[in-house]
């Protein structure tokens, strides 16, 4: 053996190792790119199309089938490399039918080789579409079957162990992405249903409150003697509670429903001073519905006895709402707080003080939007 032949034999293992290392690096890069795309995916069918476009040249793929489990059968959700007639023929598979049905039923990977030379009836469909090898993986999350995903080749060598491992890893990523999208969709539906129920509840509460207001007002109008001030106060407070249940707005973080603070103050001024007053706010301030009723009742209590034409200024500093109530007549001091107003202050965790004829009210907004 010549020195040159001996040197080539010694170099051969190094070349093979370099090729294997290069292949491993390429596959790792493909897996990383696929994971990034699947994490950002928003459409379950399109994401598999994009995955196939990413890996088809590197792995020499011609076909993929992606089936979704639906009511006990597999429905073809995405595919490539099939004619429309072939896609219609394989649109729905029963559990245990064809390669994908067997993979789904048995919860196991299937690698079919030399398909064109086989007479196995389970390979009839993949044989009919011209595949020579086909690898199918059930898409699982724990014991939950989501569907199947398979890749095939026409007229090429069968998949190597490294290629199969990469395909199975990518299928696992797809299963996680599909589960995430399914859970996000269910969450959206739950939020929509919650909002619908809250809106219906709010509508009924508002109607019932308006009915109660009407009953009290009728009693006031029909009284033979001058009505009790307490009864008039009850009627006003009922209207304020109804006001806080007027059309609600979704808060910015989606966690709660909120009411416009200016609308509440306008209503309180209308009920207390027959509309003689003003409200100013630099920006729109939303109050969570959990605090809106207490705020409206408290402002009504603070405006009572302050005379006509009070000026109310709203300022939001972070998650704290500041309300400044200024009377036209500075001599009109703040009325003493009754038990309800004192309770509302505690409920809002609010601070209150009077300075220069103005009342300063501050409290933190919960879940502020």
* Phi-psi group of 107: left, alpha or beta (phi > 0 → left; psi -120 to 50 → alpha; rest → beta): left
63-70: strand order across its sheet: 92-93, 73-80, 63-70, 144-153, 133-141, 110-112
Cα separation of 81 and 63, whole Å? 5
98 is written with which tokens? 């064809």
What pLDDT digit, counting tens, does each position of 69-93 carry? 999 999 999 999 999 999 999 999 9
Q: In the chain, what percentage of residues exceed pLDDT 70?
A: 85
According to CATH, where is 3.30.565.10 located in the chain? Answer: 256-364
Q: How confident is the model at residue 262 (pLDDT cuts 50, 70, 90)?
A: confident
Q: Region 235-239: what's the mean pLDDT?
A: 78
Q: In the chain, what percentage of residues exceed pLDDT 90?
A: 42
Q: Does domain 17-187 have CATH number 3.30.450.40?
A: yes
Q: Region 168-197: what's the mean pLDDT?
A: 90
Q: How confident is the model at residue 312 (pLDDT cuts 50, 70, 90)?
A: confident
Determine the pLDDT at residue 99.
95
What pLDDT digit, counting tens, does each position of 195-227 carry? 788 778 777 777 777 777 777 777 767 666 666
Determine the pLDDT at residue 251.
45
Determine the pLDDT at residue 203.
73
What pLDDT digit, counting tens, does each position of 327-339 carry? 755 555 556 677 8
Provide the 10 A C-beta neighbour count for residue 229. 8
256-364: which CATH topology?
Heat Shock Protein 90 (3.30.565)
According to CATH, where is 3.30.450.40 located in the chain? Answer: 17-187
On whether the CB atoms of residues 295 and 262 are closer than 8 A, the answer is no
**40 phi, psi to nearest 5 deg:** -95, 0
Q: What is the pTM of this model?
A: 0.63
């Amino acid at each position: 053996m010549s020195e040159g032949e001996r040197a080539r034999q010694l170099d051969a293992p190094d070349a093979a190792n370099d090729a294997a290392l290069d292949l491993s690096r390429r596959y790792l890069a493909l897996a990383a790119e696929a994971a990034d795309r699947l994490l950002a995916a928003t459409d379950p069918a399109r994401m598999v199309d994009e995955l196939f476009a990413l890996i088809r040249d590197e792995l020499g793929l011609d076909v993929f089938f992606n089936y979704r489990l639906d009511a006990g059968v597999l429905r073809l959700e995405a595919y490539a490399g099939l004619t429309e007639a072939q896609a219609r023929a394989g649109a729905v598979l029963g559990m245990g039918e064809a390669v994908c049905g067997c993979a789904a039923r048995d919860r196991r990977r299937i690698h079919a080789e030399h398909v064109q030379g086989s007479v196995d009836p389970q390979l009839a469909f993949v044989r009919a579409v011209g595949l020579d090898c086909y690898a199918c993986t059930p898409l699982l999350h724990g014991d939950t079957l989501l569907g199947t995903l398979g890749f095939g080749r026409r007229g090429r060598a069968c998949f190597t162990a490294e290629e199969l491992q990469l395909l199975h890893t990518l299928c696992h990523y797809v299963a996680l992405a599909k589960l995430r999208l399914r859970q996000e969709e269910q969450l959206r539906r739950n939020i929509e249903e919650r909002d619908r129920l809250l809106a219906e509840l709010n509508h009924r509460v508002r109607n019932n409150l308006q009915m109660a207001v009407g009953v009290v007002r009728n009693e006031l109008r029909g009284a033979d003697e001058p009505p009790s001030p307490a009864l008039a106060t009850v009627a006003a407070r009922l209207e304020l509670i109804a006001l806080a249940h007027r059309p609600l707005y979704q808060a910015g973080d989606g966690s709660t429903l909120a009411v416009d603070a200016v609308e509440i103050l306008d209503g309180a001024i209308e009920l207390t001073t027959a509309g003689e007053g003003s409200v100013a706010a630099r920006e729109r301030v939303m109050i969570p519905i959990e605090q809106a009723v207490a705020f409206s009742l408290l402002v009504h209590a603070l405006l009572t006895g302050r005379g006509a034409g009070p000026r109310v200024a709203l300022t939001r500093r972070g998650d704290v709402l500041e309300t400044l109530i200024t009377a036209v007549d500075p001599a009109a001091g703040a009325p003493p707080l009754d038990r309800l107003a004192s309770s509302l202050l505690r409920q809002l965790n609010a601070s209150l003080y009077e300075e220069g004829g103005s009342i300063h009210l501050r409290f933190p907004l919960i879940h502020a939007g």
